[in-house]
Amino acid sequence: MKRFGFFIPVFIAAVLICCPAVSALDVVSTTSVLWEPVQSIGGEKVTSIYVADPTICPHLQGDIINNRIQMNRDFIAGADLFVAHNSSVDKQYVIPPLNDFMEANDYGSINWVTLKNPDMTWNTPENARLLAEEVKGWLLSADPDNASYYEDNYEKYLENIDTADISAEEAELISGQDVIVMIWQKEPAQKWLGLNIVDVYAPEFVQNGELTAAKLVDRIQENPEKYKNVRYVIENMQSGELGKGIEEALNDIGINAERVIFTNFPKSISGVDTIPDVLIYNKGLVTAKEASPEPQETKGTVTTEMPTQKSPLEPFMILSGILGAALVFIRK
């Protein structure tokens, strides 16, 4: 019996090792934009993943989204909460494949939690705070037992957004510069950074093609004086390369403009893991200095993209090894 007395604590330790505590909430997000505040505010109480690749607009991803669903099928099948923007792109290209996956595999239908305003933006400090508040509400509703934990993380997250905001010193270097901007980045460029918008450009499907880069090049050639002080051509990463020809047209007539690429999505660039990081990165690109911008470290953020899906047999293999060793000891 003494030998078995030794075996009992070994067995208990094995069970604890192989069966770790489970997080309160498993959350699936359509994009990294919602994933990031969910994970940052959720902290240790939440495990979350995002489906769409953050470097590309969802409508350009085709089979990429389906592949990413298959890569995380076990997590998605057992998730507690599904969150989405429910905007036109999200609604058309990300939500349907997830719905189809669940229904095709008899996992049940998804009860989506979506933004009150599907077209809500997040690329200014003001809008980032509004997004964080709504995400916090989702977590409080889904897991009220951990309300105080989420409230604390939410306050820390707001501090990170405040840190990312433009300072008085930065405003002196950034504000008032002439820029041409891709239309999706017009609001942060103008209302947040204080840049002077000389002209805008957009994909062909916007305003019946009146704002394409090619038509903007024509305007530059017709009236170069209007654009003589343009310092930056601001691109939007997730929309593809649209502004290169604009930069070249300006340079060809002696205007020393530089094309810079803003991003809208966390995890689209190495080191840009959070929405506060996105703000810091973007403002750094138009700060009048020689050094390249480096994302600043923010407090209390979690940058896990997707949970590692372990084989369901792995814990039992470990447990079998421990039990086998214990039996050898008992027989001696």
> pLDDT by residue (tens digit) across 226-277?
999 999 999 999 888 899 999 999 999 999 999 999 999 999 999 999 999 9
Dihedrals phi, psi of 46, to nearest 5 degrees: -135, 140
> Which CATH number characterizes residue 78's domain?
3.40.50.1980
Residues 109, 196: one domain?
Answer: no
**SS3 per residue for 65-114:** HHHHHHHCHHHHHCCCEEEECCCHHHHHHCHHHHHHHHHHCCCCCCCEEE
Residues 127 and 44 in one domain: yes
Distance CA 98, CA 52 (A): 11
Which of 93-107, 170-184, 195-209, 298-312 is the least confident region?
298-312
Mean pLDDT of all residues in 295-303: 45
**292-299: long-range contacts, CB 8 A cutoff, minimum separation 24:** 295/271, 296/163, 296/164, 298/160, 298/163, 298/164, 298/274, 299/156, 299/159, 299/160
Mean pLDDT over residues 170-179, rounded?
96
One domain for residues 179 and 86? no
**Averaged pLDDT of the chain:** 85
Strand order in the sheet with 196-201: 196-201, 178-182, 230-236, 258-262
Same domain membership, residue 160 and residue 200: no
Taking residues 61-80, report their average pLDDT. 94
**158 and 41 within one domain:** yes
User: Sheet containing 46-50: which strands, arranged edge to edge?
Assistant: 46-50, 25-29, 81-84, 112-114
pTM equals 0.80
Instruction: Give pLDDT, residue 2.
Output: 47
Tell me, yes or no, whether 151 and 264 share the same domain.
no
Are 125 and 71 found together in one domain? yes
Contacts of 252 (CB under 8 A, 6+ apart): none
Other Cβ atoms less than 10 A from the Cβ of 136: the count is 22
The DSSP line for 176-205 is T-EEEEEGGGHHIIIIIT--EEEEEE--TT
Asked if 103 and 116 sit in the same domain, the reply is: yes
- Are 68 and 46 in a shared domain? yes
Question: In the chain, how many domains are there?
Answer: 2
